[in-house]
Amino acid sequence: MGNILVTGGAGFIGSHLVKELLNLGENVIVVDNLSMGSKENLDLNNKNLTFIEGDISNQSTITELFNTYTFKKIFHLGAVASVAASVEHPLETHLTNLEGTIYLLEAARKQKDIERFVFASSAAVYGDDPALPKRENSPIKPLTPYAIDKYASERYVINYSKLYGLPTVALRFFNVYGIGQNPSSPYSGVVSIITDRLKKKLNGEDASFILFGDGSQTRDFVFVKDVVQANLLVSNNKDAIGNVYNVGTGEKISLMDLISTYIKISGIDLPIKKEAVRSGDIKDSYADVSALKSIGFMPEFTVEEGLKVYWEHQI
């Protein structure tokens, strides 16, 4: 039947994708260095799942992988996913986030019969350009090593389709949230941080949420299950080949509205402490998702619905 490779498959988004692929009866090989991900995110007892602890910045790991297995599809999500870490360690980030991508592309090109190579890019490539909504052809202004490597990787990925006929697609994820997102760093996704504080309050601990700014900033928060749907869609639809797509809901919500909605859902009175706007933050962001919708994408979760599912999983 052929194998599916998921790099970063033990991470937040990757592990949701792996679970869905296993539900569909696929044979899945996960490569993850466990720097951000965890084996606990994976059903290691599933006979259709093979977990390999390895680093994509090591070319011999990739070579050995492709010498051992052949793949029909590749979902490349493995990366230094923290923007803050990329600012601290630009070179290490680059080795994983750009060179790792090229190692994979080269191996995939040599295998010849890959059906699809899907790359996880980021809305970070748009930087702080104020034009909204962000369209795939909006100005690109990557501001951090993370964003620069994501954009460079995207160009490699897409041009491997034109240069070598490798059927590639790149997805620009907006603000993904959902079960399993790690709240441990101050730069973790804000929904995971709010969830963590609500849980602490639920358990009788003294917790509050620090809001940077006045809460009027807006984002396009997309539930992780919809991101999985987008990945599967572009891996099956031939019209997606060679294209870049935004992955969001196409709706913006202010942080304050998100917090109020979440407080209502949880029924927990979380104290909010306001602090100055976080340096480097953008004010507003949301995606135009008409391109992805034109090939069949239908986000299933409004923010309220996604938060409900997320919260029910916590209690």
Q: Give the interface segment with ligand UD2, choosing from 57-65, 183-191, 236-244, 246-254 (CB under 6 A).
A: 183-191
Nearest CA-CA partner of 106 in 176, 21, 19, 168: 168
Task: Determine, following the binding rule CB under 6 A, whether residue 193 of this chain makes contact with ligand UD2.
Answer: yes
Q: Give the interface segment with ligand UD2, choosing from 33-41, 56-64, 154-162, 210-218 (CB under 6 A).
A: 210-218
Binding ligand UD2 by CB under 6 A: which of 30, 190, 253, 303?
A: 190
* Distance from C-alpha of 169 to C-alpha of 245, rounded to nearest angstrom: 8
Q: Give the interface segment with ligand UD2, choosing from 32-40, 108-116, 188-196, 299-307 (CB under 6 A).
A: 188-196
Q: Which is nearer to ligand UD2, 39 or 278 (CB)?
A: 278
Task: Determine, following the binding rule CB under 6 A, whether residue 141 of this chain makes contact with ligand UD2.
Answer: no
**Min separation Cβ 210 and ligand UD2, Å:** 5
**Min separation Cβ 193 and ligand UD2, Å:** 4
**Min separation Cβ 192 and ligand UD2, Å:** 8
* Distance from C-alpha of 87 to C-alpha of 146, rounded to nearest angstrom: 8
**Min separation Cβ 94 and ligand UD2, Å:** 16
Q: Give the interface segment with ligand UD2, choosing from 91-99, 110-118, 205-213, 226-234 (CB under 6 A).
A: 205-213
Q: Using an 8 Å Cβ cutoff, are 2 and 72 in contact?
A: yes
Binding ligand UD2 by CB under 6 A: which of 27, 41, 57, 175?
A: 175
Task: Determine, following the binding rule CB under 6 A, whether residue 158 of this chain makes contact with ligand UD2.
Answer: no
- Cα 75–chain centre separation: 11
Question: Within 267-302, where are the H helices?
Answer: 290-294
Task: Determine, following the binding rule CB under 6 A, whether residue 210 of this chain makes contact with ligand UD2.
Answer: yes
Marked catalytic residue, from 103, 126, 146, 245:
146
Nearest CA-CA partner of 81 in 191, 160, 154, 181: 181
- Site residues for ligand UD2, 257-296, by CB under 6 A, read 278, 281-282
* Distance from C-alpha of 11 to C-alpha of 113, rounded to nearest angstrom: 27
Distances (CA, A) of 269 to 116, 142, 262: 46, 38, 10
* Distance from C-alpha of 90 to C-alpha of 193, rounded to nearest angstrom: 25
Catalytic residue status for 146: yes
Question: Within the chain, where are the H helices?
Answer: 12-23, 59-68, 83-88, 90-94, 100-111, 145-164, 190-202, 224-236, 255-266, 290-294, 303-314
Binding ligand UD2 by CB under 6 A: which of 132, 140, 211, 309?
A: 211
Residues sharing a CB contact under 8 Å with residue 221, sequence separation 6 or more, in sequence order: 174, 175, 176, 177, 191, 249, 253, 258, 303, 306
Nearest CA-CA partner of 2 in 62, 74, 63: 74
* Distance from C-alpha of 50 to C-alpha of 9, rounded to nearest angstrom: 11
Size, binding site for ligand UD2 by CB under 6 A: 18
Binding ligand UD2 by CB under 6 A: which of 34, 52, 84, 202?
A: 84
Q: Give the interface segment with ligand UD2, choosing from 5-13, 150-158, 212-220, 223-231 (CB under 6 A).
A: 212-220
Catalytic annotation, residues:
146
| Residues at the contact surface with ligand UD2, assessed by CB under 6 A | 83-84, 124, 144, 175, 187, 189-190, 193, 210-212, 217, 219, 255, 278, 281-282
